[in-house]
Chain A
Amino acid sequence: MGTSFGRGGATTFQQDLANSDCIVIQGSNMAECHPVGFQWVMEAKARGAKLIHVDPRFTRTSALADVHVPLRAGTDIAFLGGIVHYVLQQEQFFRDYLLAYTNAPMIVSEKFADTEDLDGVFSGLDPESRSYDVETWQYEGAEVQAASGKRDQHWQRRTHAGRGEAHGSGGAEIGTEPKRDETLQHPRCVFQILKRHYARYTPEAVEQICGVPQEKFLQVCELLSENSGRERTSAFAYAVGWTQHTVGVQYIRTAAILQTLLGNIGRPGGGILALRGHASIQGSTDIPTLYNLLPGYIPMRHAHSWEDLATFVQGEAAEKGYWGNMESYVVSLLKAWWGPHATPENEFCFDYLPRLTGSHSTYETVMEQLKGTCEGYFLLGENPAVGSANAKMQRLGMANLDWLVVRDFSLIESATWWKDGPEIETGELSTDDIKTEVFFLPAAAHTEKDGSFTNTQRLLQWHHQAVEPEGDARSDLWFIYHLGRRIREKLTAAAADGTQKDADRERDRPVRELTWDYPVKGELAEPDAEAVLAEINGWNADAEPLSSYEQLKADGSTACGCWIYCGVYADGINQAARRKPGTEQNWVAPEWAWAWPLNRRILYNRASADPDGKPWSERKAYIWWDAEQEKWTGHDIPDFKATKPPDFQPEEGAKGPDALRGTDAFVMQADGKAWLYVPAGLTDGPLPTHYEPQESPFPNLLYRQQRNPVRQMMKHENNRFQPSDGQTGSEVFPFVVTTYRLTEHHTAGGMSRWQPYLSELQPEMFCEVSPELATERGLEHLEWATIVTARTAIEARVLVTDRMPSLRVQGRTVHQVGLPYHWGPNGLSTGDAANELASLSLDPNTHIQEVKALTCDIRPGRRPRGPQRIELVREYQQRAGITDETGTEV
């Protein structure tokens, strides 16, 4: 989403789904996982919209859909690419929209070679390092910076090769205007490249790859096309059914291309809804728990040895659009963190920021634990011993730590693996030998603390404490604040008593000088959450709250903890706590809570009007140019400079937001356009390409390249991969597995498996298989089955059901096994953890694991106990001829 449109968040809000004429839910089981938001899908249906659910399983979402399309897990790019092909071939795209708001007319560099030319890979692939040199993917004669994603990839050249040393003072201009062809006929324009790229994604190919009959596929194509254009709009909703793949980002990109071609972005009833997995997942990337981002999607600095603030900004900012003001965002962040210590002389403490030396994602961290580099671990509201892929690796990693802190409501598996985990049973670990010191600290629930959730639609909603936490339970805010306070007290004392070495004192300076002075209240000394919100919002030199990120300065006169959240505390009022009923305001309900950026509910909504500023149609009017008042107006807040007229042309040499034209609706993008083709920001290709999952029973029908060539794999003896695609041994794991959630439970179970009312509704782990597979393997309804992969074997009760259809793919029947992943051995409702089965093979952009499509064997009966469990897996590995090289081909 970020690379296509400019911001890594849902482009619309759930209430707006009610305005859709057609809704496609794919990679998501919205009714089960977002039941409350699903009411607006039902509202749309009541108003006559068509609802399409594309999913390997027939779920509670399918039950309410007009059309359910079962497809083979892991083939969504082929399916969506097929629709792109249909839209291009049948000329169903929205031409005026395309010319005005997308990069369809841009000319791409001569050096670029497509997967059609290179049989499944793009130009620039280095098989040795399993990475792409992305330089050839740029526009001709121009270079643009990505709004998100891998912004670092052109760093070297942007900061050094082209400037400074090479060209003396001034240097070569990097950001010239990309060349365009308004007729869309130039062979190297994005539109033509797109056409060629998807030329072979025909209905026949979709049928062969996905197992979707052509008739059904064409029904979806027609419904979507009929319900898009000037008068009508269609929406997409997805969730982790798309992200948890080795090509996860590209799944989402395919939908972005489709919605852009159909002219559905920035318009009511359109858009792409990224449905987040739980309450504040959007918030946890906005103010990130990710290693590679600073608040507001500012990249974390790398350990480029000579990097200073100016070079950092030069390397990461964009010439045009709102990323052009990046220096103001960075300096204001540094002022929020280091206050008076941050001065122009010391580059506002830029040097205090930590630096990256590579990928430090959760799975890499586990590898470092196994190596012994990572010695301590905090788990706050996370249960990796159940929820993470190849959970055994997680436990073995934790068993190699010095200390582990688990903060949760209950004694989750991640807190007790050292005494009763699966490896204790198999004998791989013994409690006496584990040296990890484990601390369990009870956590307060959301009802026991103040704070905010940033939900799926970028909406910050405040919740107020209802009761005091019981016993020793404390909020995360309390824990982090007081932990920091005590560490700082110790460091300050050490620095003052004169015994500390100079080097150590310098090392500790960033921690000692942090602004860490939130007021506390009550008997528990709970920090004031609103004070934190006020800091996130930011203030000016007179300590007055800011109301917009347009006010941020690079001279150190403003402080702001997260620039995209600037305005949430405007006028000193907690805007996220607003609760004006929907009946007392317009349907967009701008006075219910607060959405980033600047309370805009549909992003890029300038595109809801035509280039002249008039609504595309009365039916779909949303934001328009009011010539009399000389400003943009409408139902929402314009996601555009309110007074910039539609015919505005920037002055020669203008920079940042001033360089945006009156038609550049995608204001974060370096060219102001929605990107059908991504010239920068992704590691695995500018266009989504169908690759088979890491483990698949089928060959890639479209290219010789079987899998994503730059997918990330963790090689380890406990993380063996299985043979694919008819290679010898692949018949040992003939079935496709997919994992998922149920309404009745919450992710890895920490919030539900201890609750009697929820546990009784889904009391134990089960697997779902079709009647055909049950017959083939002798599986009995409600009896036990054992599911085996090269990693481990788990057991589950069997549900035989038509909801898990077997499909015809490439002339044969493929069975799929469905596994909910909520369970572990602890709590009231128990069972084996499904994610034990998955391998660590990751998307190269996000480092997210592929747990939505892998292969397995299934057999009747319970799994063996003790060491025999390992024996069984070893026997399977031998039978399949698995070595440490299997499945690791480029």
Chain B
Amino acid sequence: MTTAREATDPAAESGYTDHPPRMGFFTDTTVCIGCKACEVACKEWNAVPADGLDLTGMSYDNTVGLGANTWRHVAFIEQRKPLAAQDPGLHHDTDVLAMAEHGSATQPPEAGMTPTTPGSGDDFRWLMASDVCKHCTHAACLDVCPTGSLFRTEFGTVVVQEDICNGCGYCIPACPYGVIDQRPDDGRAWKCTLCYDRLGEGMEPACAKACPTDSIQFGPLDELRERAQQRVRQLHEAGVGEARLYGDDPDDGVGGDGAFFLLLDEPEVYGFPPDPVVTTRDLPSMWRHVGAAAATLLAGAAAAFLGAGKGR
């Protein structure tokens, strides 16, 4: 059993002693303008390949969802609801679970038109949200990885190493968010690294750097959580009663996310599972210990390497 303190400090749990604060993302979707600069910056920095020219008809979302070749994904949701006004009810006439299964929005074959959530009157709004790997406190992908390719960094983030991954694919169904994904050509698993290489150099991740409106904020998770709570309070005072956080709670099914969100509607509307649970919750603890030990070794090596780099 882990203690509550350790639960919020995954780096320590993984064996790091003197480590930097846990870093993460706070994505405030209320100020996202859907420019997709985050998607492009991520691909440019991480040399993620382009993955096809498909007009999907899902509003302005032609990326569809996170995958091996998409580590940031901007969802576009058209709704017949008033612009940024108070939303009293919590129930919507959409089959949210079906939507969640499908990812960020209704799939085109099922949509007679651009997926607009039905509602009454002439009201209309357009939600945009940039999705990313959650860098879970209890990360199932990491738990199940037999090679140690997936490891916990000193920043508390979860990174997959392309040179160690053997393509077994265990991590893919393990992720409760459907984030990590295999490339069809060689079967290896890929996902957001929270720009581990940039963090080591004291730089912020490429997506956060590119975001013009600070919808994507990067920093120590503690600070981000505090800032997010303040932002929600501010929005509530301004009459935006529907503003809520998603993934910020250390007591949720994954122990809280390293990348969490401020939303204006139910998580399902954005394609997030309403109540994610770490899929390895009931596995024997052995797996976890193996993963942690492997990560410690690797992180030690990485730290030594970085240290050498700085000394030059």
Residues of chain A touching chain B, judged by Cβ–Cβ distance below 8 Å, are 31-32, 35-36, 38-39, 42, 58, 60-68, 742-744, 756-764, 766, 771, 774, 781-782, 797, 799-803, 805, 828-829
Contacts and interface: CB of A to CB of B under 8 A. Distances in A.
Nearest to A45: B31
Given A764-B53, A802-B116, A60 B40 contact: no
A763 to B, nearest CB: 4
A796 to B, nearest CB: 10
A39 B212 contact: yes
Contact of B50 (A38, A42, A58, A760): A760
B83 A757 contact: no
Nearest to A759: B53
B203 interface: no
Nearest to A829: B53
Contacts of A800: 112-114
25 contacts: A31-B33, A35-B33, A35-B35, A38-B212, A39-B213, A58-B124, A60-B126, A62-B126, A64-B31, A68-B124, A743-B34, A744-B36, A757-B50, A759-B53, A760-B52, A760-B63, A761-B62, A763-B53, A764-B55, A774-B113, A782-B55, A799-B114, A802-B114, A803-B124, A805-B124
A38 B213 contact: yes
B44 interface: yes
Interface centre among B37, B44, B126, B128 (most CB of A within 10 A): B126
Contacts, number: 116
Interface string B24-54: 0000000101111101100110000011111
Contact of B83 (A66, A781, A782): A66
Nearest to B234: A46
A349 B127 CA distance: 61
Interface of B: 31, 33-37, 39-40, 43-44, 50-55, 57, 59-60, 62-63, 78, 80, 83-84, 108, 111-114, 116, 124-128, 212-214
A232 B50 CA distance: 48
B84 A66 contact: yes
A178 B143 CA distance: 83
A151 B159 CA distance: 65
B116 A801 contact: yes
A60 B83 CA distance: 12
Given A60-B126, A801-B113, A828-B53, A763 B33 contact: no
Given A31-B35, A66-B84, 12 more contacts: A38-B213, A39-B213, A42-B33, A61-B33, A63-B127, A67-B83, A743-B34, A761-B36, A761-B62, A763-B62, A801-B78, A802-B116
Contacts of A66: 83-84
B113 A60 contact: no
A277 B110 CA distance: 38
Contact of B55 (A757, A763, A801, A802): A763
B43 A757 contact: yes
B119 to A, nearest CB: 10
B149 to A, nearest CB: 26
A802 B80 contact: yes
Which 4 residue pairs spanning A and B have beta carbons closest together?
A: A756-B50, A763-B53, A800-B113, A63-B126
A155 B151 CA distance: 78
A53 to B, nearest CB: 10
Contacts of B44: 757
B62 A801 contact: no
Contacts of A763: 52-55, 62
A63 B213 contact: no
A36 to B, nearest CB: 5
B114 to A, nearest CB: 4
B55 A766 contact: yes
Nearest to A68: B83
Contacts of A68: 83, 124
B54 A60 contact: no
Contacts of A782: 55, 57, 108
B62 A63 contact: no
Contact of B31 (A42, A758, A781): A42
Interface centre among B35, B84, B111 (most CB of A within 10 A): B35
Nearest to B125: A63
Contacts of A42: 31, 33, 213-214
Nearest to B51: A760
Nearest to B85: A66
Nearest to A831: B55
A433 to B, nearest CB: 35
B40 A781 contact: no
A64 B128 CA distance: 10
A642 B114 CA distance: 58
Contacts of B62: 760-763
B33 A60 contact: yes
A757 B40 CA distance: 6
Contacts of B124: 58, 68, 802-803, 805
A58 B79 CA distance: 12
Nearest to B124: A802
Nearest to A63: B126
Contacts of A62: 83, 126
B78 A803 contact: yes
Given A39-B213, A68-B83, A797-B55, A63 B36 contact: no
A61 B83 CA distance: 12
Nearest to B43: A757
Nearest to A213: B122
A19 to B, nearest CB: 18
Contacts of B59: 801
A60 B77 CA distance: 11
A450 B37 CA distance: 25
A816 to B, nearest CB: 15
Nearest to A35: B35
A230 B100 CA distance: 52
A801 B114 CA distance: 6
A32 B214 CA distance: 16
Contacts of A36: 212
Contacts of A58: 124, 126
A805 B214 CA distance: 30
Interface centre among B33, B80, B116 (most CB of A within 10 A): B33
A760 B36 CA distance: 11
A800 B57 CA distance: 9
A63 B52 contact: no
A36 B273 CA distance: 32
Contacts of B116: 801-802
A761 B51 CA distance: 10
B215 to A, nearest CB: 9
A766 B59 CA distance: 11
A774 B59 CA distance: 16
A64 B59 CA distance: 16
Contacts of B127: 63
Contacts of B212: 35-36, 38-39
A63 B128 contact: yes
A31 B125 CA distance: 15
B104 to A, nearest CB: 14
A809 to B, nearest CB: 16
A64 B78 contact: no
Contacts of A744: 36
A63 B33 CA distance: 8
